[in-house]
């Protein structure tokens, strides 16, 4: 039981520390050569199982199954070497001659191992069991172990060669890969002298723990760090875009929405109208009277103050409606909701305020307001056209009052 207990512990350790690899969780999907690494772990897992079964079957002395398991055991060992070399090649990802040599050498070794094991069935050159059921080894076993030592040594040298060209954590990961090869060479060398000890399993367990701690976990941490940095950059980009959009959609002089914002909401309203989703909508168009006179006589600074005063007058009455400055002295309000329900009262109050301003020689704003008519209006432009005409009519009325010196209250 002592022999197989090492394999059982190794299986438990592998499953625990590599559960996310086997379950293919999203936290590891960016690890380089992940498929090769998973295949390597599966190869080791198969080897562990054959090693565990070997211990049980040897205790039971059930020779037919023990022989079969030993055959699979040797093939699994060769497969581990091949899968390891392919992972190293894929992970380091450097195209050169040495890479090809390592790749084809590994596959050639697997073919050789299968051929040797096949020959062993007829002519025991790798292993056999004597008349007492004791395990015996032949020269071919030492040959396969020597080739494995060579393959692990080559992967270590290759990883060291690449590590020299890298820096920081990447260099550390490459050195760790080289260290696994050294660990395996060490335990294989001892295994040569003690064939009945589970030293290969111990080497695999220590090696995979090194990989998990210094390569896989480091790759995952780097991935999450990059993801966090990318998220931070995206948030910053969105904030910058939001600020840029806010500036683009805000009139710098008055603080109300800009013409760009109006163009966007006009497009949205057109879509709603086309979809039959608009029932209660009105548009009010405003134009500040005599702005040119103010600019020409008092200067543009006073003209700007004049525009701000007119805008404030509009916003104070249409409190629940978005107001847009769409021209130098032209504004528009999109009236829905509460303001739509009270539109007549709001318009009446606005007109009274204008008449009062005419008496006090304050800012005068013309207004034209009309509602959406589902029978005739296909776009916001249709409503805008009627409101614009009403605004110019109101503007003329106010000018006539001013020219005639008529009392605005009449």
- CATH number for domain 2-232, candidates 1.20.1070, 2.60.40, 3.40.50, 3.30.70: 1.20.1070
Residue 406 has pLDDT above 60, yes or no: no
The answer, yes or no, to whether residue 223 has pLDDT greater than 60, is: yes
The model's confidence at residue 27, banded by pLDDT at 50, 70 and 90, is low
| pLDDT value, residue 43 | 95
Where do you find CATH 1.20.1070 in the chain? 2-232
pTM of the predicted protein model: 0.62
Whether 329 and 395 have beta carbons less than 8 Å apart is answered as no
pLDDT of residue 184 exceeding 80, the answer is yes
CA-nearest of 284, 295, 291 to 364 is 291
Task: Compute the average pLDDT of residues 329-340.
Answer: 94
Q: What is the pLDDT of residues 289-334, one digit of tens each?
A: 999 999 999 999 999 999 999 999 999 999 999 999 999 999 999 9
259-404: CATH, from 3.40.640.10, 3.60.15.10, 3.30.70.270, 3.40.50.300:
3.30.70.270
* Band of residue 248 on the pLDDT scale cut at 50, 70, 90: confident
How far apart CA 407 and CA 373 sit, in angstroms, is: 35
Is the pLDDT reported for residue 68 higher than 90? Answer: yes
Q: Which residues contact 10 (CB under 8 A, 6 or more apart)?
A: 48, 201, 202, 204, 205
Where are the domain boundaries for CATH 3.30.70.270 in the chain?
Answer: 259-404
| Residue 410: band (very low, low, confident or very high) from pLDDT cuts 50, 70, 90 | very low
Burial 9-44 (b: 16+ CB within 10 A, else e): ebbebbeebbeebeeeeeebeebebbebbbbbbebb
Q: Among 194, 161, 191, 204, which Cα is nearest to 42's?
A: 204
Q: Is residue 127 over pLDDT 90?
A: yes
Gap between the Cα atoms of 67 and 183, Å rounded: 28
């Amino acid at each position: 039981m002592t022999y197989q207990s090492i394999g059982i512990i190794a299986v438990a350790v592998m499953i625990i520390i590599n559960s996310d690899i086997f379950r293919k969780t999203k936290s590891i999907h960016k690890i380089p050569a992940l498929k090769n690494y998973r295949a390597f772990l599966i190869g080791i897992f198969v080897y562990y199982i054959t090693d565990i079964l070997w211990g049980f079957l040897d205790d039971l002395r059930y020779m037919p199954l023990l022989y079969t398991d030993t055959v699979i055991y040797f093939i699994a060992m060769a497969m581990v070497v091949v899968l390891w070399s392919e992972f190293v090649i894929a992970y380091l990802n450097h195209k050169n001659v040495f890479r090809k040599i390592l790749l084809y050498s590994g596959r050639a070794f697997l073919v050789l191992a299968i051929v040797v094991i096949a020959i062993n069935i007829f002519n025991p050159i790798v292993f056999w069991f004597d008349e007492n059921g004791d395990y015996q080894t032949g020269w071919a076993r030492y040959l396969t172990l020597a080739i494995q030592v060579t393959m692990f040594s080559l992967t270590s040298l290759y990883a060291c060669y690449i590590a020299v060209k890298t820096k920081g954590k990447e260099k550390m990961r490459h050195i760790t890969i080289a260290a696994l090869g050294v660990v395996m060479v060490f335990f294989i060398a001892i295994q040569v002298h003690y064939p009945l000890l589970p030293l290969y399993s111990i080497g695999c367990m220590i090696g995979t723990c090194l990989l998990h701690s210094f390569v896989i976990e480091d790759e995952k941490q780097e991935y999450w760090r990059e993801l966090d940095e990318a998220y931070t950059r995206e948030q910053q980009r969105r904030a910058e875009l939001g600020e840029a959009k806010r500036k683009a959609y805000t009139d710098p002089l008055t603080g109300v929405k800009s013409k760009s914002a109006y163009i966007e909401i006009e497009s949205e309203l057109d879509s709603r109208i086309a979809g039959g989703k608009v029932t209660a909508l009105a548009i009010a168009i405003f134009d500040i009277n005599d702005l040119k006179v103010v600019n020409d006589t008092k200067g543009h600074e006073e003209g700007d103050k004049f525009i701000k005063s007119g805008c404030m007058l509009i916003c104070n009455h249409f409190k629940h409606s978005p107001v847009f400055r769409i021209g130098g002295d032209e504004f528009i309000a999109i009236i829905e909701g509460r303001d739509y329900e009270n539109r007549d009262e709001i318009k009446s109050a606005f007109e009274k305020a204008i008449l009062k301003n005419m008496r006090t020689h304050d800012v005068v704003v013309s207004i034209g307001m009309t509602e959406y008519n589902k029978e005739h209006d296909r776009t916001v432009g249709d409503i805008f056209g009627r409101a614009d005409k009403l605004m110019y009519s109101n503007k003329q009325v106010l000018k006539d009052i001013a020219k005639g010196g008529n009392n605005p209250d009449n």
